[in-house]
Amino acid sequence: MNDPLKDLSNLTDALYQAELGKMRAVNAREASLRHDLAELENLRRNNMTLPQTELHTVRQIGADVLWEGWVSRTRADLNTQLAQVLAQKARMTAELRRAFGKQIAAGELLKEATDTKKQNREKRKRQVQDDLQLISSQKP
């Protein structure tokens, strides 16, 4: 016989795990974007520390302006993507909290029902033992 509360608990746990998996993916994307931004900044800094003699030719052909433009566009694009991921993460956090609350509530309902069943079994067992003692004491 299937226990509906056990089924409910399993379902809410599965839903919570699904939401948690989605959140892990979003967290991984956020970490990747933050890593890319940090790497871009390191490249920019390294480029700025190059000796002037090495930059002379680059500046003559305008490559330094193109480089800075590319860095700016790439940084803006990465920051836009990061903002979108953070907005998605905020929405998903609410969904994750709701799923977690449902999981906890279903687990507590199941525990309460299990405890009640156990208490009822013990009560019936004591009643049967009392009845058997009563019957034994009435025999001649």
> Is residue 47's pLDDT more than 90?
no
The band of 138, judged by pLDDT with boundaries at 50, 70 and 90, is confident
Q: Where are the domains of the chain?
A: 4-107
Alpha helices in 49-62 (DSSP H): 52-60
Q: Which residue's structure tokens are 């034994």? A: 136
* pLDDT at site 123: 92
* pLDDT at site 2: 81
Q: For the segment 81-115, what is each residue's pLDDT rounded down to a tens digit?
A: 999 999 999 999 999 999 999 999 999 999 999 99
> Is residue 70's pLDDT more than 70?
yes
Q: Which CATH class is domain 4-107?
A: mainly alpha
* pLDDT at site 110: 92
More confident: 101 or 5: 101
Mean of per-residue pLDDT scores for the chain: 88
* pLDDT at site 56: 61
End-to-end CA distance of the chain: 44
Task: Tell whether pTM > 0.75.
Answer: no
* pLDDT at site 55: 65
The span from the CA of 41 to the CA of 33, in Å, is 12
